[in-house]
Each structure stands twice: as structure tokens, then as C-alpha cells.
Amino acid sequence: MSEHLVVIFIIFLAVFTQSLSGFGSALVAMALLPAVMNIKVSTPLVALVILTIEIFLLMHYRQTLNFGAVWRIIVASLAGVPFGLLLLSHANERVVMVLLGIIIAGYGLYALFEAFSGSIRLPKLEHPAWAYGAGVIAGMLGGAYNTSGPPVIMYGNCRRWGTAEFKGNLQGFFVPSSLVVVIAHAWNHNLTTEVWQLYLWSIPAMVFGILAGTHLDRLIHPETFRRIVLFLLVILGTRLIIG
């Protein structure tokens, strides 16, 4: 029971983070959950949670979605998901944890440098074909670790999406991508009874996380909270790397 409470609290924290800062639910959850449960349980659990909250966020941001800007990423990600699931199923768990830590800490450092100095300015990508490369990598990371966000976020920066379009496009990518990941987990029999029980236990945490995040959005500046989360991601990612 105590382990279940820890898992539920982590889910709350992840959903709260996304609701307040606009990003990070998967990164936060995947940085914390592997410390208290098997990654082959935490990965499909987080996939279900992400799909649930991303559907809500897509409804919220639907008017700013530019589907023409993301359909190539969505299609390409479908090809990457099976390779990510293969990695999750057959790779050594220690290797997986190190790779996950590198992804989380690396993204945290990139985003922090960009936020504080503005010195990291990725080149503008004019050709839409770049979307296919970003999509394949995102699909692989989504299938293995539920961390499809960083490649798509970097691609969006390189395409110079505006703030409103950025949020809408991210949700437009995440929902179908997350749906494919969940279906793939079901196909590979990863959605076990334990995963579904933890998901049902987590529903109240998701609800309270969304309500708390949207309420505190008026009291705490989202960018300040985002930077705090990025610092924590660097620390948590480093912890996964060193073991």
C-alpha cells in the first residue's frame, strides 16, 4: 500500500507539473517512478496517464492546432514506436536506466541554457522533411520511455512555432502518438492487471493535479516553475545515470 501511495503522489506531481508549466508530465514521472517500481510496469502506466491528460489538453488547445505542421511527425513516429518497445523488452534494465537518465538530464540542461541565456538557438529548419527524422526518434523514445517530447519540442523551436501554435501542435502530436504507444503496449501484453490497478488508483491524483495546476497558474508564474522543474530533471536524470 505504501508503494502505491508513492506512485500516486508521483502521478499527481507529474500531472500538476504539466498543468502548471505546460510540459513535463512524462519526464517527471519517468525520472521518479523507476526508483520505486520496475520500469516495465512504470512505462505502460505512464503511457496510460499521459494519454488521458493529453486528450484533455488537446480539447483545451484545439483552436491553436495546426495539423499541417505535425502530420509528418505523427506518421514518422508510428515507425519508431515498435523499435522503442523492442528496446524496452530486450535491453538490460541498467542500460535502459542510463539512457533514460541521459535523455532527461540532457533535455533539462538544453532547456535551462535556452531559458536563462538564450545563447542556444537551434538553426531554422525550412524543409518539412526534417519532421520525419524528429518523428522516428520521438516514436522510439515514446515506445521505450514515454519521453517523445524532447525531439518534437526541439523541432518546433527550429520551425519557429509561435507560443499558441506550439502548445496546440504539441497536443496534436502527443495524442495520436500516445494512443499508438498504448495500443503497442497492449499488443505486447504490457498492460497487466497491476498496471490497470495502479492507473485506476491514479485517477483521483490526475484530477487533483489538473485542478491544482490550473488554479495555481494564476498565483505562480509558469516560467518560474518550469525552470525549477528543469533543475530537478537534471538532478533526477543524473541520479538515474550514476545509479
Residue 105 CA, distance from chain mean position: 14
> Does the pLDDT of residue 147 top 90, yes or no?
no
* Exposed e or buried b per residue across 52-88, where buried means at least 16 C-beta atoms within 10 angstroms of its C-beta: bbbebbbeebeebbeeebbbbbbebbeebbbebbebb
pTM above 0.85, yes or no: no
- Tally the domains of the chain: 1
CB within 8 Å of 68: residues ≥ 6 apart: none
Q: Where in the sequence is the domain holding 203, given as residue range(s)?
A: 2-242
pLDDT digits (tens, 9 = 90+) for 187-223: 989 999 999 999 999 999 999 998 888 777 677 776 7
Q: DSSP assignment, residue 120?
A: -
Mean pLDDT of 127-151: 86
Cell of 104: 532527461
pLDDT at residue 119, as a whole number:
56
